[in-house]
Amino acid sequence: MPWLIAFKGKSGFSARNTAEDVTKGIDGHGLTAIITGPTSGIGLETARVLALRGVHVVMAARNVDAAAKCKETIIKGCPRATIDVLELDVSSLESVSNFAKEYISMGLPLNILIGNAGIMATPFTLSKDGIESQFATNYLAQEEGADITINALHPGVIATNLSRHSSFMSICLYGIFKHFQKNIPQGASTTCYLALNPKVKGVSGKSGFSARNTAEDVTKGIDGHGLTAIITGPTSGIGLETARVLALRGVHVVMAARNVEAAAKCKETIIKGCPSATIDVLELDVSSLEYVSNFAKEYISMGLPLNILIGNAGIMATPFTLSKDGIESQFATNYLGHFHLTNLLLDTMKNTAKNCGQEGRIVLVSSELHRITYKGGIMFDKLNDEKCYSSFYAYGQSKLANILHAKELTRRLKEEGVDITVNALHPGVIATNLSRHSSCMSVCLYGVFKHLQKNIPQGASTTCYLALNPKVKGVSGEYFADNNVAKPSGTAKDAELAKKLWECGMELTKSK
């Protein structure tokens, strides 16, 4: 599945890009870089590409003979390359000190320091300094005496000799998942990007938050008293955490749940942790347009304001079924129900924004899988055709629809001059019950890569950030990930497709 490494981030690059791609057109002449572990794998490729861009490369290698041969190879491909080889065993603090003294004595400047050398999953041994070898090699020596700014990175899953000490099981996993691996030029790309690309002048996004931040982090110090929010799908996972954190910040939370008994228990749990929380529970099955209409009527009859509407409920990669309205279930649940709910409550939101003088916010939970959909994006003519159905493409289609919905509604609200923002988001890869209908392989992948996932408080952070944080005031029609604006697919930016989807949604809901 090559699409798993094709997603482009905010930089405009993806896992498919190579070290040469991310440094194309960059002039490194006048810069000097030290690279540890430069004789194989991504270290060697990093040395090659930096030398290719004009950087004076110092190969800090345990095996200087091997490094000298690598230097010759690089120079054959790039005769103008400037490369020095110095001895360095990063597992030995004495060797590190000697290297540093030798380097300083050479009078060279130092612009870039790349700590690439490493060992992985070795049998237990101690370094010459009596330190466990992996800690000594991968961390301790490379931190010795360095007063510099450091960016850390994950190069990707790459078949290099780093895994030479790994267990048989680890080697098998590399074999099984070889189609998810990067090649070495791709694996070296992030290192070279951080070393040379001018786009990275800071370690965090513009918001100041990242994928590591939790929902509490991004709403810290924010007073939500006086605000009212509806959250769909609030009984588990990121929906429940969103409800909890908003209630913690003083927001009056309305839990719009299919299972009201489960929601009532969740309400009790939240109030135990936050006795001052104000929470109501109302029944809503977003897959049914009738339920959506009944919910909207009940909510309006309560006379409550509405500042924040969060479309969180969803299903993923289900077997083919039709909703009560004869609509393919993922499209009905993930998109159409929220489209209808938004339209029915929009006047309430407009009045609230006008009366309280504070912008309303609509937040739609989408997914990076919006990129994996049917040809053309939305399969309008065969929306409910079982013969053409693909559970993952249908999921991607529904999540693409969320982003297009945000784009088109933003356009319409701006034309009216209404103070309501609409944004879509990718919460991250999170192990929740959303994937309960996914295939065995998909579930296995979640298990294997669980250490790359976010936890639920982190997964709920972008939703809460968009719902409450003042830093996104006035920002609308965007796609967010990791608490920052992200770049969606080209299809997700198609204004004509967004208009066509709007018309389709209106047609499907007109009698409801």
Domains of the chain: which residue ranges? 2-196, 215-509
Distance CA 16, CA 8 (A): 9
Can you give the pTM of this predicted structure?
0.67
Q: Report the SS3 class of residue 237.
A: helix
CATH architecture of the domain covering 2-196: 3-Layer(aba) Sandwich (3.40)
34 Cβ contact partners less than 8 Å away, ≥ 6 residues apart: 58, 60, 103, 110, 112, 113, 114
Q: Is a pLDDT exceeding 70 seen at residue 165?
A: no
% of the chain exceeding 70 in pLDDT: 78
Distance CA 329, CA 394 (A): 9
- What's the pLDDT tens digit per position in 361-384? 999 999 999 999 999 999 999 999
DSSP string, 361-419: EEEEE--GGGGS-BTTBS-GGGTT-GGG--HHHHHHHHHHHHHHHHHHHHHHHHHHT--
Query: Do 2-196 and 215-509 come out as alike in CATH topology?
Result: yes
Superfamily covering domain 215-509: NAD(P)-binding Rossmann-like Domain (3.40.50.720)
Full strand arrangement of the beta sheet holding 56-61 = 83-87, 56-61, 32-36, 112-114
Query: 429, 461 in Cβ contact below 8 A?
Result: no
% of the chain exceeding 90 in pLDDT: 63
DSSP lists the bridge partners of residue 36 as 60
- What's the pLDDT tens digit per position in 399-440? 999 999 999 999 999 999 999 999 999 999 886 555 444 555
| Assigned token pair, 164 | 């030479």
Q: Which of 389, 393, 395, 479 is catalytic?
A: 389
Q: Is a pLDDT exceeding 60 seen at residue 297?
A: yes
| Assigned token pair, 412 | 């319409």
Catalytic site residue 389?
yes
Q: Report the SS3 class of residue 62.
A: coil
